[in-house]
Structure 1
């Protein structure tokens, strides 16, 4: 069975984004991009919520051919452009996925069943970036296999907490390390199921 890997950045005080949904308030550095590229290389499906999909679609496609972009960002762009995408959304239409035509839209009411079926299909990892509300729901439903938290050396002081207080899920630490050339610490957890 394929794994769903949630890969996200958080502040030391546990926020997924700063006040006003400001993601750039987080303490990013080059280790963030390097680790995201590592995860993309191990995946063949990107699972996203609508807001994250629209943000990625608006940013990543042209980066692949931008000679002024850092090489790591150009490679991330190529992977994002090529990988199959599944978007959980009630409002997105197929005509709104361009230029990413390798995108399938799943309604929120059927998302858990669709994701469970996706996990049963052969293939590589299913990767989740961003998509906080979607993955919190899948996490509470026991559908997330691993949670990769990149903890940055900074406090945001408010915003959106990484967890939404849903059903408790037990975790097992699989790995902890400082990312190469970075101030970010990776905490990689496996889920043990629901029930605390």
Structure 2
């Protein structure tokens, strides 16, 4: 019937419309990938036109195409060489920087070690001077003690005798003379400590 035909036609149109929408979505989804692929293609050849070129189509001979390719390869190699030289220069500068830093650190380390050695040397010299001073003082003290001990020993070996002992030793074993009364002369009396002897002229 006519109504059924209209329905079928509408369904068919809607199906076609859906297919177009789906295809457009797929194309939009794949567009970034296609752009990347297009960018990855080979670079355009460096074909050189003649000075007499005035527009229009240009036909290139295989020899011209090969020349253009050779120029492209040479240009790419030159850029690569420049990049490599740049990297080598950067590495060289980095090595020089590291070497200078190492040399500076080494000089600082040597200066620190030299300073420590000098400080230690001064401390050792001061310690040696102090030890010599203490040793000299000890030797002087020992010498003085020995001299004092020698003097004390000499005093002990030679005792001092009293005058009373000398007189007693001299009169020991000698009979005392008898005292006589002389007219007009008073004889001395005995003291509490010792007997006083009269002069010899008054003794018989």
TM-score, normalised on structure 2?
Answer: 0.15
Greater relative contact order (Cα < 8 A, sep 6+):
1
Greater share of residues in helix: 2
* TM-score, normalised by the number of residues in structure 1: 0.15
Structure possessing the higher radius of gyration over alpha carbons = 2
